[in-house]
Amino acid sequence: MKMVHVSRSRLGLLVWASTATISTVVALVSYRYLVGQGPVPPNIAANRHFDPWIAVHAAGAATALLLGPWQFRPRLRVRWPFLHKCIGRIYALGCASGGLAALVLATGLSSGPVAGAGFAALGLAWLITTGLAVREVLAGRIASHRRWMIRSFALTLSAVTLRIYLPLSDVFNVEFLTAYRTIAWACWLPNLLLAELFLWRRPTSVLFAHPVTTSKE
């Protein structure tokens, strides 16, 4: 049993490290919108609300993506609860600004209402899950807070899955607009489904096994 536990711990660490690494890379690349450097995809540049909302969205979403993985390190929560709180507040602000900007950008897409509805639904779900996570921690309901944080970060990771799916449209020779309308939904719905499956199968996972030192993280 001890060997199984160690193997699971190593697997969990590997999954976390992989997620943190790719999240960091995507976040750092996305910050280019803040300084106006680097290529801008034509469909993004064609958005009616590109300026200034793409910079607002990139700043918030990239920051949330960069910091999000660290909120799931039990040692950080236990040893440095104040740092955990600070990172959590910045993460929530990033989600809020990124989500609100996503709602604006969704109305300016040149790829049509299907894609716009997909990204708007993502922005709304992101705001709701993060808002509920904040509400629960303020009420001292820590286990519920962590469950909503998992859902929130699953949606934050849509920035990663989006960038994985887009090149696949070229690989499978799918017309861009068709692919983009599909990806507007596919980049986040499976993420949320996987989060729900994880929470259903592991309600007492290691994420809930390490209490913090205060009742309000």
**What is the pLDDT, as a whole number, of residue 30?**
96
With helix as H, strand as E and coil as C, how does the chain read? CHHHHHHHHHHHHHHHHHHHHHHHHHHHHHCHHHHCCCCCCHHHHCCCCHHHHHHHHHHHHHHHHHHHHHHHCHHHHHHCHHHHHHHHHHHHHHHHHHHHHHHHHHCCCCCCHHHHHHHHHHHHHHHHHHHHHHHHHHCCCHHHHHHHHHHHHHHHCHHHHHHHHHHHHHHCCCCHHHHHHHHHHHCCHHHHHHHHHHHHHCCCCHHHCCCCCCCCC
pLDDT tens-digit profile of 141-179? Answer: 999 999 999 999 999 999 999 999 999 988 888 899 999
pLDDT band with cut points at 50, 70 and 90 for residue 206: very low
pTM attached to this predicted model:
0.88
Q: In this model, does residue 137 exceed pLDDT 90?
A: yes
pLDDT band with cut points at 50, 70 and 90 for residue 7: low
**What is the pLDDT, as a whole number, of residue 13?**
85
**What is the pLDDT, as a whole number, of residue 210?**
46
Q: In this model, does residue 8 exceed pLDDT 80?
A: no
**What is the pLDDT, as a whole number, of residue 154?**
98
